[in-house]
Amino acid sequence: MSETAERDARHKARMQRKKALIDEKIAQAQDQYGLLLVHSGNGKGKSSSAFGMVARALGHGIKVGVVQFIKGAASTGEETFFRRFPEEVSYHVMGEGFTWETQDRQRDIAKAQEAWAVARHLLSDESVGLVVLDELNIALKHGYLELDTVLADIEARPLLQHVVVTGRGALPGMLEAADTVTEMSLVKHAFKSGVKAQKGIEF
């Protein structure tokens, strides 16, 4: 047997063993219910990942609700795109910009509470299969909302409704409550080299 053929045979044997293990895990995973997913960390891509899930849900005919807690001072590509589907996506931009721009904590608290009232409505709507709470972690980190109240409302949602929470600095209680947590780590960012935020990439 040639070296290439031997290597190919070893690869096939490894893949067969791996397939057997994965097939067994898939067979054991039979539960199905609405998940709470948290995207946190200092790296880019938390909201982008959530909006990728919005597109995926729409592809399956699932209605979606979006509430943005901090963003709102400037329009984004996601907002412009998903507003094309008003029957499928209930899109709510409730923030007034980053906290270092607003510089008014009481107003930020009021806006966050208004946003949570909208989120609570979506979380009680059985026709909505996916709810994205964009930058909610920031509002919680700054104390604009009570974590216990937020988690109670999320827990009380319809059985099959999925929720995605984004934003850096996720609180330990949010991480503990989540079914899936993804931490985006920053390796390198063009902004540190003096490159400004650009359409289609940052917003």
* pLDDT tens-place string over residues 17-63: 888 887 787 778 677 899 999 999 999 999 999 999 999 999 999 99
Residues 89 and 4 in one domain: no
Assigned domain for 26 exists? yes
In angstroms, the Cα distances linking 170 to 75, 91, 135, 140 are: 25, 23, 10, 8
Domain of 114: which CATH number?
Answer: 3.40.50.300
User: What pLDDT does residue 46 have?
Assistant: 96
Residues 89 and 14 in one domain: no
What is the average per-residue pLDDT within 124-145? Answer: 97
User: What pLDDT does residue 193 have?
Assistant: 75
| 35-49, 106-120, 159-173, 186-200: least confidently modelled range | 186-200
Assigned domain for 164 exists? yes
Assigned domain for 82 exists? yes
Amino acid at 195: V
* Strand locations in the chain (E): 36-40, 63-68, 89-93, 128-134, 162-166, 180-183
User: What pLDDT does residue 32 have?
Assistant: 84
User: What pLDDT does residue 3 have?
Assistant: 81
Residues 136 and 176 in one domain: yes
Residues 9 and 93 in one domain: no
Residues 71 and 48 in one domain: yes
Residues 36 and 13 in one domain: no
Q: Is the pLDDT of residue 161 over 80?
A: yes
User: What pLDDT does residue 73 have?
Assistant: 60
Q: Is the pLDDT of residue 72 over 70?
A: no
Assigned domain for 200 exists? no
Listed residue (124, 180, 121) closest to 157, CA to CA = 124
Q: Within 10 Å of residue 129's Cβ, how many Cβ atoms?
A: 19
User: What pLDDT does residue 29 have?
Assistant: 66
Residues 115 and 175 in one domain: yes
User: What pLDDT does residue 199 have?
Assistant: 77
Higher pLDDT, 158 or 99: 158
Q: Is the pLDDT of residue 100 over 60?
A: no
Residues 26 and 62 in one domain: no
Assigned domain for 198 exists? no
DSSP 63: E
User: What pLDDT does residue 104 have?
Assistant: 77
Q: Within 10 Å of residue 43's Cβ, how many Cβ atoms?
A: 16
Residues 26 and 53 in one domain: no
pTM (two decimals): 0.85
Residues 57 and 15 in one domain: no
Q: How confident is the model at residue 173 (pLDDT cuts 50, 70, 90)?
A: very high
Q: Is the pLDDT of residue 75 over 90?
A: no
Assigned domain for 201 exists? no
Domain residues for 162? 32-193
Residues 87 and 184 in one domain: yes
Assigned domain for 199 exists? no
Name the percent of the chain lying above pLDDT 90: 63
Residues 107 and 156 in one domain: yes
- For 183, the 3-state DSSP assignment is strand
How many domains, in total, are found in the chain?
2
